[in-house]
Amino acid sequence: MVWLMGGALILNVVMIVALVALIGVRGLDAFWPRPLDLVTLETGEQFLGMPVREETYDAPIDRRRELEAQIAAGEISKDALDDDGRPVRRLYRTGNRDLGQEPFRWVTLAQLQAAERPKDAVFVERMEWGVFLGVPEALVVENQDADADITEGADAAWAAIETHLPDAIDRRERIRKLQRSKIGPINGEMSHLRERLTQAQIEMARTTVSRGLSKPLWFGVIVLAVVLMILPPALWRHRQAESRAAESPLRTLILRGCTLLAIGLALVAWLERPRPAPLTTQALETLKAEIDQEQADLDLSYQEFTADIADIRDLDNQFRVVIRAPGLDRIAPERQTTPDTPLRLSQIVRIFKPNTLSTRQKIGIYLDRWREFLTDDPREANTEGGIFPVIFGTVLLTILLSIIVVPLGVLAALYLREYAKQGFVTSVLRIAVNNLAGVPSIVYGVFGLGFFCYTLGGYIDAGPSQATQLPLFRWWFLVAAGMAVVIIATAFGLLGVRKPGQPDNTRTKALRNLAAFTWITAFALLAGLLVTTPYFHGFFEARLPDPTFGKRGLLWASLTLALLTLPVVIVSTEEAIAAVQPSLREGSYGCGASKWQTIRRVVLPGAAPGILTGMILAMARGAGEVAPLMLVGALKWAPELPISTSAPFLHLDRSFMHMGFHIYDLGFQSPDSEAARPLVWASTLLLLAVILLLNLVAITLRAHVRKKMGTSHF
Amino acid sequence: MTTMTLPDEHDKPKPAEAHQLSIIESIQQGLDITPEVHPTLAESDHILQIDRFNLWYGHNQAIHDISMGFPRGKVTALIGPSGCGKSTLLRSVNRLNDLIDSVRIEGHMLLNSESLYDPSVDVIDLRKRMGMVFQRPNPFPMSIFENVIYPLRIDGERKKSILSDACQRALEGAAIWDEVKDRLHDSALGLSGGQQQRICIARAIVAEPDVLLLDEPCSALDPLATIRIEELIHEISDRYTVLIVTHNMQQASRVSDYTAFLYLGRLVEYGRTDDIFQRPHLSETEDYISGRFG
């Protein structure tokens, strides 16, 4: 038996180690530069290609015989068949997609006449249309007066490319920076201006909302609220200072009632504040003129920047490079539609001669490709460039999700373990929570989309729909009813308190159940009030019908994932809380601490390492989740980071990119899956690294907490 | 006397008829007895007065009709075999038994002639006036300093100077200041058991309580640490009223001024420690003290 168990363990370990090793090797290998072959086929066709891999394939027996005969005759190399006599083929990366060539090509070794390694062949990574393989012929620098300064010949052109390329790349970056940091904000400002105007027009058109109380009445409401807030507590406190007695239920009830009334009056005062009369048509005209003026200013600076960009582009157009693809005998074009205009130098991301590279240069290219991968935006349907927005989105999502899930889970666990009476209901709740962990994640995704994105997001955008809004009078009647229900619930709760030294009897039990029921009613009423309020019209009314929060976005994705990982946190927190020794609690109560003080100062610190364990598990689960994200926020292409320098800095409404989804997208949805293959490995490696890093941070935090507490549980 | 809830209630003989049974036998049969309270207690000034106190855990009665007073500024020891209700009685004094849902009480407890179980009493405030030390040292998972000033912290005291003064005073009072003064901000869990218990005593006295409740404070400690704690109880006894529950006869005779002998939830004999240990009125008390039963 022990062998069986040991064997199972070893099997598990071997599988995990093999998986990680495979990902590690393939991922690290992805960016290593390989040599280029000039392939000549038996048909005489020639092309440049980068060998990717070789494999054997099944062929009919007579084809094999034929090949064997050819080998025996010395017509083809004996590599064409492997040791088992099966034919071998080789995959070449050929690029040059814009010339109509297949970017990858299988060649059987039998077809292969010759494969040389020409020294001049270059591997060009371009901004568009992927890789180009060819031989540089010339670098053309046009002068101001339209005659060109041409450097011809492979070696000379290569030298010229190497001197001019850094400047060209710098120009490209300058254009990008101008577009990002100048033009982008101007566009943002413009839409803000439009929104201001729309908002003003909407408010003008609105007729249903009251214009507020009259000034004296409003002032009276405020004074009453303040008096209710300050006076009774002060009076009671004064009385209480004389005796050390606890408050009687009636006093508590009156105190809480007064506070609640004060809050209600404050609500009245705020919602029914005296408002200025709506905008007159004339005022609207002034506003329009103002906005037009600002818009004109923006237009001016916009034109300034576009002129700057145009200048740089003009300079850019003067540098062109002629790279010819042998075999096809065509040059790398600027655009697919203009096959005779040579490539602009600034269209090149990286160019190198794979067949003459020294090991040091190879390492240089390898590291530079990793830098690009980690820090740049993706290009070409994500199959090229970097994945910085993807890493950023993943990390931010994971952090947000733990910020949301930990407090939520800890509060729920505290209630379940410390406040709720252990019994049938808590057992059912516990089982339900545990089962939630087993619900397929796509179900959470559907829920998130339906509830968070559309319902909640729609509410934030536009407020309650017109159909559900109640008339003012009825709505305020409901508010009063809600307050009354809260007071009744409080009264039930206070009456249901046990007398000291007396166990529960049916009366107190019934009263407490009634209190719970009444509280639930109160919360239902509150939800109803929110859904029917005639005062709220949404925070982003002016942007409608374009949704702001009413669509997939970062906030909803992190909320969905928080919901998904909630059971993990609740369960581990509950265990941690239960593991805090009862003697510590007694000690705290013995010192005169209240329940909340005991929880805050003794139970929570004691349970902190366990809570952090829950957080680590939640993060690990949340960061690797993909299915719900496809529904609630992750996009294939969203280079705009959810953090920016313009208010509100953290854009929770934006969509984002996520590594898990990115891997799926690269591997299975991209138009050129062969080209994306190395990136899939690299991204997978990176995803593992990111999750590992996040976990390490959390584990370090836990170790720190443990050391501070001097405990060694968990 | 309270009526008993035992099944053999109907054939229960009247206490007067029970003279042929020994007191221990009477108690074992669930009969009421008249506790032997020495007259020396009559004239003392009692800080805490227990008046016909009964306590039930669910349907089990743990304390039967105990009436006794605890003299102000003295050390009173509660002795008796396991399960005799000593700890329960102690925990009833600061209402720690409230935390158990099934507890029901009858009778009164008066601290400075104010009832402890009146619904208007703030139990939090009450516990703040009584320091308690438990069987096993239970320092909180925080620094020594934070442990000691915990009662002040939860009272909302924030002034650094007041807190550190109080901490030093309490640690000096618990005779551990010299040992820990250089590592006040280390975790209290790194100390030895005896040191931890003295930290707990410092925590119990830091808020200057009216009464100090010690629930077998030495039962989890080695003999040397026990001696240190006993010396400490002796030192602080002139400042506080101390109630100590103990299993250890010698300890009771060494540290206390008064001793009460309890058996199966009933008070049997209560008097000055010298009297109880040298001239007990009841032979049962003598038997218990000399280890012949219990």
Inter-chain residue contact B150 with A581, CB threshold 8 Å = no
Is A255 a domain residue?
yes
B244 and B257 in contact (C-beta within 8 Å)? no
Separation CA A514–CA A494 (nearest Å): 11
- Is 60 exceeded by the pLDDT of residue B162? yes
Q: What is the pLDDT at residue A241? A: 58
Q: Do B35-123+211-294 and B137-208 come out as alike in CATH topology? A: yes
DSSP symbol at A581: -
Question: Poorest-confidence range of A629-638, B87-96, B143-152?
Answer: A629-638
User: Measured between CA atoms, how close is A510 to chain B, in angstroms?
Assistant: 16
Inter-chain residue contact B150 with A246, CB threshold 8 Å = no
ipTM score assigned to the predicted complex: 0.87
Q: What is the pLDDT at residue A443? A: 94
Separation CA B4–CA B19 (nearest Å): 19
pLDDT tens string B278-291: 888 888 888 888 87
For B115, the closest chain A residue by CA position comes to A245
Inter-chain residue contact B104 with A503, CB threshold 8 Å = yes
Are both A527 and A558 inside the same structural domain? Answer: no
Tell me the average pLDDT across B260-275: 89
Q: What is the pLDDT at residue A430? A: 92
Q: What is the pLDDT at residue A246? A: 56
Separation CA A409–CA A612 (nearest Å): 11
Inter-chain residue contact A246 with B188, CB threshold 8 Å = no
Inter-chain residue contact A586 with B122, CB threshold 8 Å = no
Q: What is the pLDDT at residue A24? A: 93
**Which of A581, A597, A711 comes nearest B154 by C-beta?**
A597
Are both A649 and A508 inside the same structural domain? Answer: no
pLDDT tens string B190-208: 888 888 998 998 999 888 8
How many Cα neighbours within 13 Å face the side chain of A226? 6
Are both A499 and A637 inside the same structural domain? Answer: no
For B142, the closest chain A residue by CA position comes to A709
Q: What is the pLDDT at residue A299? A: 92
Domain end among A513, A536, A559: A536
Collect all residues of chain A within an 8 Å Cβ-Cβ radius of residue B125. 244, 246, 592
Encode burial over B9-43: b for 16+ CB neighbours within 10 A, e otherwise: eeebeeeeebeeeebbebbeebbbbebbbbeebee
Separation CA A405–CA A146 (nearest Å): 65
**Encoded tokens for A242:** 């004389």
pLDDT tens string A410-452: 999 999 998 888 888 899 999 999 898 889 999 999 999 999 9
**Helix-helix angle B223-236:B193-205, to 10 degrees:** 20
pLDDT tens string A260-291: 889 989 988 888 887 776 667 788 888 889 99
Tell me the average pLDDT across B212-229: 86
Are both A89 and A169 inside the same structural domain? Answer: yes
Inter-chain residue contact A501 with B97, CB threshold 8 Å = yes
Are both A432 and A531 inside the same structural domain? Answer: no
Are both A64 and A163 inside the same structural domain? Answer: yes
For B151, the closest chain A residue by CA position comes to A591
Are both A249 and A115 inside the same structural domain? Answer: no
Of the two residues B13 and A584, the one the predictor is more confident about is: A584
Torsional sign, CA A608, A609, A610, A616: positive
Task: Identify the CATH homologous superfamily for domain B137-208.
Answer: P-loop containing nucleotide triphosphate hydrolases (3.40.50.300)
Collect all residues of chain B within an 8 Å Cβ-Cβ radius of residue A603. none
Are both A399 and A517 inside the same structural domain? Answer: no
Inter-chain residue contact B140 with A584, CB threshold 8 Å = yes
Inter-chain residue contact A588 with B140, CB threshold 8 Å = yes
Mean of the per-residue pLDDT values for chain A? 87
**Which of A244, A590, A606 comes nearest B127 by C-beta?**
A590
Q: What is the pLDDT at residue B4? A: 41
**Which of B101, B132, B142 comes nearest A590 by C-beta?**
B132
Encode burial over B211-227: b for 16+ CB neighbours within 10 A, e otherwise: bbbbbbbbebbeeebbe
Domain end among A333, A351, A369: A351
**Encoded tokens for A488:** 């009744």
**Which of B98, B138, B153 comes nearest A500 by C-beta?**
B98
Inter-chain residue contact A589 with B127, CB threshold 8 Å = yes
Q: Which domain covers residue A221, as residue numbers?
A: 215-271
CATH architecture of the domain formed by B35-123+211-294: 3-Layer(aba) Sandwich (3.40)
Inter-chain residue contact A586 with B155, CB threshold 8 Å = no
Inter-chain residue contact B120 with A246, CB threshold 8 Å = yes
Q: What is the pLDDT at residue A247? A: 62
Q: What is the pLDDT at residue A710? A: 60
DSSP symbol at B73: T
Residue ranges with strand state E in A527-602? none
- Residue of A541, A390, A395, A371 lying closest to A466 (CA atoms): A541
**Helix-helix angle A2-29:A673-709, to 10 degrees:** 120
Is A555 a domain residue?
yes
User: Measured between CA atoms, how close is B124 to chain A, in angstroms?
Assistant: 5
- Residue of A326, A355, A371 lying closest to A34 (CA atoms): A355
A132 and A93 in contact (C-beta within 8 Å)? no
Q: What is the pLDDT at residue B264? A: 85
Residue A652: partners with Cβ closer than 8 Å, 6 or more residues away: A549, A553, A554, A555, A642
Best probe of the A interface among B63, B93, B122, B180, by most A CBs < 10 A, is B122
Residue ranges of chain A whose pLDDT lies below 50: 712-714
Collect all residues of chain A within an 8 Å Cβ-Cβ radius of residue B124. 592-594
Separation CA B55–CA B95 (nearest Å): 12
β-strand pairing of B130-133 with B211-215: parallel
Grade residue B18 by pLDDT with cuts at 50, 70 and 90. Answer: very low
pLDDT tens string A491-549: 998 888 877 777 778 888 899 889 999 999 999 999 998 888 888 888 888 887 888 88
Q: What is the pLDDT at residue B234? A: 85
CA angle A256, A259, A265 (to 5 degrees): 140
Inter-chain residue contact A501 with B141, CB threshold 8 Å = no
DSSP-based helix, strand, coil % in chain A, nearest 5: 65, 10, 25
Are both A441 and A501 inside the same structural domain? Answer: no
Best probe of the B interface among A497, A585, A591, A711, by most B CBs < 10 A, is A591
Are both A116 and A151 inside the same structural domain? Answer: yes
The alpha carbon of A54 is separated from its chain's Cα centroid by a whole number of angstroms, namely 38
Are both A583 and A696 inside the same structural domain? Answer: yes
In chain A, the number of structural domains is 4
DSSP symbol at A507: H
For B149, the closest chain A residue by CA position comes to A591
User: Measured between CA atoms, how close is B280 to chain A, in angstroms?
Assistant: 34
Is A265 a domain residue?
yes
Are both A445 and A468 inside the same structural domain? Answer: no
Q: What is the pLDDT at residue B13? A: 44
Tell me the average pLDDT across B126-155: 89
